[in-house]
Amino acid sequence: MANVSDDELKAMTQEERVTALGMRTDQLAGRAMRVEFDPDEEERFEYPWAPQVDFNKRGEIDADDFDTTGLNRQIRAMMAEGYGTIVLKNPRGKHSVGVGILTRLNLIIEGSCGYFAVGLIDGVNVRVNGRVGWSCGENMMAGTIVVEKNAGSTFGAAIRGGDLVCKGSVGSRTGIDQKGGTIIVGGDTGALSGFMMQRGRMVVCGNAGKNLGDSMYDGTIFVGGKIQSCGVDAVEAELTDLDKAWLTRKLTQYDLLPAKGVDHFTKIVAGKQLWNYDNLEPNEKKLIL
Amino acid sequence: MCGIAGLIHRGKSSAVGAEMTSMLQALKHRGPDSTGYAVYGAPLKQGECIIRLKVAEAEDMEKGRGIYQVLEERKAAVDKVLAEHKVKVKSKHEATPYAMRIEIAFDGDMADLAAHLEEQEGVEILSIGNGLELIKDLGDARDVAGAYALENFKGTHSIGHTRMATESDVDIRSAHPYWAFPYNDVSVVHNGQITNYWIMRREMERLGHRFQSNCDSELLAVYVAHYITAGKTLEETLRQSIQDIDGVFTYLVATKDELGMAKDTMAAKPLVLYESDDLIAMASEDVAIRAILPHEIETSDPYDEEVRVWQT
């Protein structure tokens, strides 16, 4: 914090006070996101403890042989041996499969998973040749998850980065508290999708349930089908050429581009009428107000 | 939390006791306090039915040797009531010292008989049904299925519940499923919380219904039975319940030849659904369905306010 006295702060305008305190006042809007990291940092960040894996070294795990903890330990043990591509067979709805992997890996899951599948990951490429239960990809930082069938509710809750794709339909509250990244749904999504969304993009090729984007602070939602209703402070915006180009590229990437293109998509953004949200932390606000 | 499960075979009977046991055992982590089944076997002849009742709570068995004398007295009281109502007892079986299965032929007033039975100290009817048998006890699915020989039960459909006690006690009275006293063959399992329970209970009690417990889930059984007996279809009743009942809930209802599901307006409680031409299975989690269908299958999550009903 800048070395200024309380009296000096009181004498300043709010703009001067904020600057003197070392804070920022730029508006957080849409895709105009700030660069928070050193641009000279290596593009492919890796955790120092991350094992070096070889994508061409491929191994298999039969999930029938393990409980959930054992299964996740086995994935890590194989990564420590350098396996960069792991095929996991017979998950049979087990919960928390492949969670907390913080390094590069190709994880192919042959079957369906239960709750919290591949949550808390950072940089893993996952393909699930089945369905997933609630909260798939929760809090993922980076990487790609592609689910071939349906997904349960809270798909991509609080994700911060990466691409999370469900080729089927998903349950309710998709992308609740989404903080970044992209969520793509090939089918329909349920009620309260995008609830309290803060950043990132969500694409729903089918229909969206009621209260879409309720209380969203920022971010963008694209819907190809019908929207049952928008939630509080979620408003329709113009679909720009830039949006169309991005949608076309992203949906083509995952083989989900509709035959009729993307011109029919509806774009939903935050109306920004929720005044209880700004770019100051609570303790910073206390100092100013 | 609690776990619920349901399955219905179309046009055939199957080992629903064993199937439901596998499903509920897979859901044990959602609720280890008690496990309950409503299983529907082949309907008996007109005028015949099965009474499932208990004469004590499981915890009463820890009260020492004297409890056995008490149990004998209560069972004798049950026999006396059945005799007074001129009920023809076709068979009687005791799965545990406190739980009885009585197959009867009776063409009198069933509500009167049920009320008279429950006037006896310690006696609580779990179910009366032409096809329904309701079994619930403390412990996990394997424990209960073993004690009540459910592995051999053949039938068309079943619902089940693993309970994590929250707002009421860990006892058989508060375990699910709930039978809708005194209406034959209606049972309910529920996962969630009903927030206008007391308002709705008062309304139902004013209409003459009685409740066995203080568990909010029992309200659903009474509510459904009330409207079905008033002439509404199961589907109409379930749809109306979503408007009338507040809270977060997913619940399953079984009747003699139907199985239905309903989700609240927020879809806050989970349900996963599998449908094929001859089998419909649903549960709080995928893992339960995959316990009876180990091959790869398509499942989906019903949405908010969704109501579905299937026939046997």
Domain range list for chain A:
48-271
Number of structural domains chain B divides into: 2
B177 and B126 in one domain? no
Distance in Å, alpha carbon of A202 to nearest chain B alpha carbon: 19
B235 and B209 in one domain? yes
B172 and B108 in one domain? no
Distance in Å, alpha carbon of B40 to nearest chain A alpha carbon: 27
Any residues with CB less than 8 A from the CB of A261 and at least 6 apart, and which? A244, A248
Last residue of a domain, one of B72, B96, B130: B130
pLDDT score recorded for residue A8? 86
pLDDT score recorded for residue A286? 66
Averaged over A77-95, what is the pLDDT?
96
pLDDT score recorded for residue A1? 45
B300 and B171 in one domain? yes
Last residue of a domain, one of B130, B158, B191: B130
Residue B306's domain comprises: 3-43+131-311
The three state secondary structure string of chain B is CCEEEEEEECCCCECHHHHHHHHHHHCHHHCCCEEEEEEECCCCCCCEEEEEEECCCHHHHHHCCHHHHHHHHHHHHHHHHHHHCCCEEEEEEEEECCEEEEEEECCCCHHHHHHHHHCCCCCEEEEEECCEEEEEEECCHHHHHHHCCHHHCCECEEEEEEECCCCCCCCCCCCCCEECCCCCCCEEEEEEEECCHHHHHHHHHHCCCCCCCCCHHHHHHHHHHHHHHCCCCHHHHHHHHHHHCCEEEEEEEECCCEEEEEECCCCCCCCEEEECCCEEEEECCHHHHHHHCCCCCCCECCCCCCEEEEEC
pLDDT score recorded for residue A17? 81
Inter-chain residue contact B299 with A112, CB threshold 8 Å: yes
pLDDT tens for residues A248-257? 999 999 999 9
B181 and B38 in one domain? yes
Tell me if chain A has a CB within 8 Å of the CB of B299: yes
B165 and B97 in one domain? no
Nearest chain A alpha carbon to B304: A191
Catalytic-residue membership of B2: yes
pLDDT score recorded for residue B5? 98
Distance in Å, alpha carbon of B296 to nearest chain A alpha carbon: 6
Q: For the CA atoms of A116, A120, A121, A122, what is the dihedral angle to 10 degrees?
A: 160
Tell me if chain A has a CB within 8 Å of the CB of B118: no
B219 and B120 in one domain? no
A40 pLDDT exceeds 80? no
Enumerate the residues of chain A whose CB falls inside 8 A of the CB of residue B290: 92-93, 112
Inter-chain residue contact B294 with A172, CB threshold 8 Å: no
pLDDT tens for residues A107-150? 999 999 999 999 999 999 999 999 999 999 999 999 999 999 99
**CATH 2.160.20.60 describes domain A48-271:** yes
* From B2, B114, B262, B279, the catalytic residue: B2
Tell me if chain B has a CB within 8 Å of the CB of A167: no
B185 and B60 in one domain? no
pLDDT tens for residues A255-270? 999 999 999 999 999 9
B163 and B80 in one domain? no
B18 and B145 in one domain? yes
pLDDT score recorded for residue A282? 61
If pLDDT is split at 50, 70 and 90, which confidence band does A50 have?
confident
CATH code (residue B289): 3.60.20.10
Q: Exposed (0-12), middle (13-18) or buried (19+): which is A13, by Cβ within 10 Å?
A: exposed
Enumerate the residues of chain A whose CB falls inside 8 A of the CB of residue B299: 112, 131, 149-150
Q: What is the ipTM of this complex?
A: 0.85
Inter-chain residue contact A171 with B287, CB threshold 8 Å: no
Last residue of a domain, one of B67, B97, B130: B130
pLDDT score recorded for residue A7? 87
- With a cut of 50, list the residues of chain B below it in pLDDT: none
pLDDT tens for residues B160-210? 999 988 777 788 888 899 988 777 789 999 999 999 999 999 999 999 998
Nearest chain B alpha carbon to A187: B300
Q: Exposed (0-12), middle (13-18) or buried (19+): which is A48, by Cβ within 10 Å?
A: exposed
If pLDDT is split at 50, 70 and 90, which confidence band does A93 have?
very high
Q: Dihedral of CA B185/B35/B205/B114: which sign?
A: positive
Nearest by CB to B303, from A111, A133, A190: name it. Answer: A190
